[in-house]
Amino acid sequence: MQPLGGKKSKRQGQKTRFWNRNSQSGEGLGARISLSMSDSWQGRSQKPGRRRSHGWLPAGMPRSWRMAAGCFISAAALYGLAVGGYIDRSATYATKKMSTLVVRAGFAVNRVTIEGQDRTSNASIVTALGLDRDTSTLAFDTAAAQDRLEKLPMVRSAQVMRLLPSQLHVVLEERVPYAVWQHNSALLLVDQDGTVIETLHGRTDTGFPLIVGEGAAKHARDLLDELAHWPKIKNKVQAAIRVADRRWNLKLQNGMEIRLPEGDTSRALKKVDQLNAKHKILSGDAVAVDLRLPDRVTIRLGDGSISRRDSVFAAPSGKSGSPGQDT
């Protein structure tokens, strides 16, 4: 094509010759681009192609180093998210959303059945289970609920089961009240193991035996089980007092005190029962029966009994009775 005016510029002629040279070699535009790139990198590398950089990492860094740097950056980012609470909040949000969907699908907890409940209140059980309107049976943590139930004062052991689609079943083994423990001016209801169930706040009409002193709750079961074999003594006991956490004193309803030894309580109670059968010591004038020594029994009389005894021995000698009669 001729330019206007019928003249060719020198620059246009050079361009034409350039294109003609490429066209004659049969390489076209792609060859021109390829040659241009090869010319620009001459003297820098004898390898074909271009070595690319990885972001801010140097292009010549070994691959293992690049992988280690990437892992370090990822770990730092995750640590920052965790410290900032973003991961926990995201997980909580996702869990709540999933629970809501499960509840809407018909797996909401809408019924709780309880087995073995006697003294534990419904409110304390529901609170320990941690139930609300968004609680689902599929996501309910039975192990955590069981731990919370077993922390209740009256509960010895608990078991929680899921009954799909919408029911929980709770099995309780409650602690059985065994005695009232007077400790540091407080009255505490305890079970056979000595575990405190509740504070009585001044209530004494519980019908359970009264035990007093340090260590009394822990050792009461052995004593009370032994007393069960001697009902004539047990029925007269008002309180069992632990002395120095080593032995027991029994305080009877008439004020008498039976001092038991540190060991062999059974032998001592058997001796008291024999003396009572023969001499009626539990209903007589004695105020204390001491069985702490294994080879003797010491009986202490009251002041009134001592006065009567002294008056008998102090009677006038000339005032004798009739023959054949003792005075």
Domain ranges of the chain: 106-174, 179-312
CATH fold group of domain 106-174: Ubiquitin-like (UB roll) (3.10.20)
Contact 168, 136 (CB under 8 A): no
Closest alpha carbon to 200 in 184, 219, 180: 180
pLDDT score at 311 = 54
CA 327 to the chain's CA centroid: 74
The C-alpha atoms of residue 140 and residue 107 are separated, in whole angstroms, by: 10
Look at 68-77, 232-241, 242-251, 274-283 and tell me which has the smallest mean pLDDT: 68-77
CATH fold group of domain 179-312: Rossmann fold (3.40.50)
The C-alpha atoms of residue 304 and residue 275 are separated, in whole angstroms, by: 21
Look-up of token digits 């000339």? 318
Mean pLDDT over each residue of the chain, to the nearest integer: 76
Give the residue, 37 or 101, on which the prediction is more confident.
101
Same CATH fold assignment for domains 106-174 and 179-312: no
DSSP state of 54: B
Give the residue, 294 or 23, on which the prediction is more confident.
294
> What is the pLDDT averaged over residues 23-29?
43
Give the residue, 320 or 214, on which the prediction is more confident.
214
The C-alpha atoms of residue 253 and residue 249 are separated, in whole angstroms, by: 13
pLDDT score at 82 = 55
Give the residue, 281 or 71, on which the prediction is more confident.
281
Alpha helices per DSSP H over the chain? 10-25, 28-40, 63-83, 86-102, 122-129, 142-149, 216-227, 231-234, 265-279, 303-313
pLDDT-derived band of residue 37, with 50, 70 and 90 as boundaries? very low
The model's pTM: 0.60
The 10s digit of each residue's pLDDT in 157-200 is: 999 999 988 899 999 999 999 999 999 889 999 999 999 999 99
Query: How buried is residue 156: exposed, middle or buried, by Cβ count under 10 Å (0-12/13-18/19+)?
Result: middle
> What distances in angstroms separate CA 273 from CA 26, 176, 258, 277, 278, one per listed residue?
130, 30, 12, 6, 9
The 10s digit of each residue's pLDDT in 48-64 is: 555 555 555 566 667 77
Query: How buried is residue 123: exposed, middle or buried, by Cβ count under 10 Å (0-12/13-18/19+)?
Result: exposed
The C-alpha atoms of residue 148 and residue 159 are separated, in whole angstroms, by: 11
Give the residue, 23 or 145, on which the prediction is more confident.
145
The C-alpha atoms of residue 111 and residue 229 are separated, in whole angstroms, by: 47
pLDDT-derived band of residue 313, with 50, 70 and 90 as boundaries? very low
pLDDT score at 58 = 61
Q: What Rg do the C-alpha atoms of the chain give, in angstroms? A: 49
pLDDT score at 302 = 79
Contact 249, 258 (CB under 8 A): yes
Look at 22-26, 66-70, 112-116, 211-215 and tell me which has the smallest mean pLDDT: 22-26
User: Is pLDDT above 50 for 255?
Assistant: yes
